[in-house]
Amino acid sequence: MGSSLGTTQTTVRLNKIGQIAITVRDLARAKNFYQNVLGMQFLFDAGTMCFFQCGEIRFAIGLAEEAVPLGGTILYFRVEDIHRTHEALKAQGVEFVQPPHLVARMPDHELWIAFLKDTEGNTLALMCEIPRT
């Protein structure tokens, strides 16, 4: 990625954080802590992640991975169309760690996520709740 990212005009406007996630070493232990010690409202499990409601923002804990090492924090920006936003950012040279992919099927929607890197190597994410038909 070159310095052109800072000077390019974009139609993408990431302005709503829908979720914040942190990485953990022991998912069961961390889930117990957030749910039973801190009293967060548990929502659902999805693979190596657990989700809680914290006011208007969803809070997630997930096992550390190569893309997000232990101690990492990820801001998830809520977008209307994850595929269109992904393509628009890719066209501007943004480095994606993982393209849009389905994370969880809920009763009324599917949760899609895409991970990207900022210019400093921090992992960020796009999230989109696509209504089920």
pLDDT in tens, the chain (133 residues): 444 455 556 688 888 999 999 988 899 999 999 999 889 999 999 888 999 999 889 999 988 876 667 777 888 999 999 999 999 999 988 999 999 999 888 899 999 999 998 877 888 899 999 998 8
> Structure pTM?
0.74
Q: Are strands 17-24 and 57-63 parallel, antiparallel or unpaired?
A: parallel
What CATH number corresponds to the domain at position 33?
Answer: 3.10.180.10
Nearest-angstrom CA–CA distance, 77 and 62? 17
Residues spanned by the domain of 101: 3-131
Query: DSSP letter string over 63-105?
Result: E--SSS-TT-EEEEEE-S-HHHHHHHHHHTTPEEEEEEEEEEE
Nearest-angstrom CA–CA distance, 125 and 2? 20
What total number of domains does the chain contain?
1
